[in-house]
Structure 1
Amino acid sequence: MEITIRDGGPDDIPAILGMLDSCVEWLVAQGRTGQWGTKPLSQSTKTVESVGRYMAEGSVYMAEVDGVPAATLTLTDAPGAYLAHLAPAGEPERYIHWLASDRRFKGHGLGGALLDHAAEETRRAGVSLLRVDCYAGDDGKLVRYYESNGFTRVESFTVGENHW
């Protein structure tokens, strides 16, 4: 199995939405519906707009397994608008959005490879702070996932329902 990471673009939006839908299906099967609900995210106008907006504002990366798009991550210079109430970082930062994979590729290390790529791109840009916000509810597995990939929990916050 060969993992390659390439720049993404507008032509990748259908694949990205498919990955998000795959994640929702996987989460629902585990009874973990608090993060993204129970309906395919591709059916949400807000989600489709968010994917396009972050793509326009930042850099999209696609991880491929043997040439098949399998995971994605978007990197921007700022957190989502829903975090505007939080204090700014006070230094230049990069922010991760929409890390997702086609769950058929679960366990292949694609998320970690994309996070490593985002960290390298952030360093290459001369920025030392790479941030991500994530859902901390249900069983807390997502927080532990990011911590296992080198992130440190800094602050907890609550976002109103249906911000996607």
Structure 2
Amino acid sequence: MENTTCGVRIRRGGPADAPAVLAMLDSAVRWMNDRGNTEQWGTTPFSEKPGGPELVDRYMTENLPYIAEFDGTPAAALVLDSGPDPRAPITPAEEPERYVRLLVSDRRFAGRHLGSALLAHAVQETRRAGVPLLRVDCWAGGGGELVTFYERHGFTSTETFRSGSWPGQVLAQRVG
């Protein structure tokens, strides 16, 4: 399934997109660190983290990855799964769901609303699959700006959690 809106093309991703997604993650870590946020994703580029490249490879092969392209260049990515990582301290849903495992953009394309386009696409894909619930978790630190971003996109906060000292928030959206 491909979707094109406002010059942004959203397409299914795959293994060939792993290097671009890894570069997006590295770009996001640098961008956050440059702004003083060293807590959300740490300070080590994702490509240098133990298991980082392998995780991205798994996302691109075992899940439902989507790539937003701008002028033909992969500029953002979203990965859907059937639930949260089972190792995460998150309460499982009591019904079928789609779960946003990753949403990241290349900071060179900031301001083009690629994350918004990908979240709208995730809602469409979840609804198309006949699944009533879309959930996501995010970093709840830094004043909660990321939580607010998801709330602006129709999600409602449902539970908080901690992974070590990392504060997290789970949000849900009914799409049925």
Report whether the alignment pairs 1:45 with 2:50: yes
Give the Å deviation of 1:98.
1.6
Mapped to 1, the partners of 2:39 and 2:78 lie a distance apart of 21
Q: CA RMSD in A?
A: 1.5
- Runs (5+) with no aligned partner, structure 2: 1-5, 167-176
Asked if structure 1 preserves the Cα contact closer than 8 Å seen for 2:79 and 2:101, the reply is yes
AA partner of residue 87 (structure 2):
Y
Asked whether the 8 Å contact 2:83–2:92 carries over to 1, the reply is: no
Aligned counterpart, 2:75: 70
Higher strand proportion? 2
Q: Unaligned stretches of 5+ in structure 1?
A: none
Say how many residue pairs are matched: 161
Letter in 2 for 1:24: V
CA distance in 2, matches of 1:96, 1:137: 19
Q: Deviations over 1:13-45 (max 9, x none)?
A: 010000001111110011011110111111113
Contact 1:51–1:98 at 8 Å: present in 2 too? Answer: no
TM-score (norm 1): 0.92
Question: Which residue number corresponds to residue 154 of structure 1?
Answer: 158
Whether 1:123 and 2:127 are equivalent positions in the alignment is: yes
**Residue 5 (structure 1) aligned with residue 10 (structure 2):** yes
Q: What is residue 140 of structure 1 aligned with on the other side?
A: 144
Identity of aligned residues (%): 54
**Structure 1 residue 87: Cα displacement:** 3.0
Determine the C-alpha separation between the residues in 2 that align with 1:57 and 1:21. Answer: 21
Q: Is the contact between residue 82 and residue 159 of structure 1 (CA under 8 Å) also seen in structure 2?
A: no
Q: Is the 8 A contact 2:98 2:134 kept in 1?
A: yes
User: Structure 2 CA distance, aligned partners of 1:82 and 1:89?
Assistant: 14
User: 2:21 matched to 1:16?
Assistant: yes
- SS state at 2:134 partner: strand
Task: Return the alpha-carbon distance in structure 2 between the equivalents of residues 50 and 71 of structure 1.
Answer: 17
Whether the 8 Å contact between 1:19 and 1:100 is mirrored in structure 2 is yes
Q: Which has the higher contact order (CA 8 A, sep 6+)?
A: 1
Normalising by structure 2, report the TM-score.
0.86
Q: 2:172 maps to what in 1?
A: none
Give the secondary structure class of the aligned counterpart of 2:143: coil
- More deviation in 39-48 or 67-76? 39-48
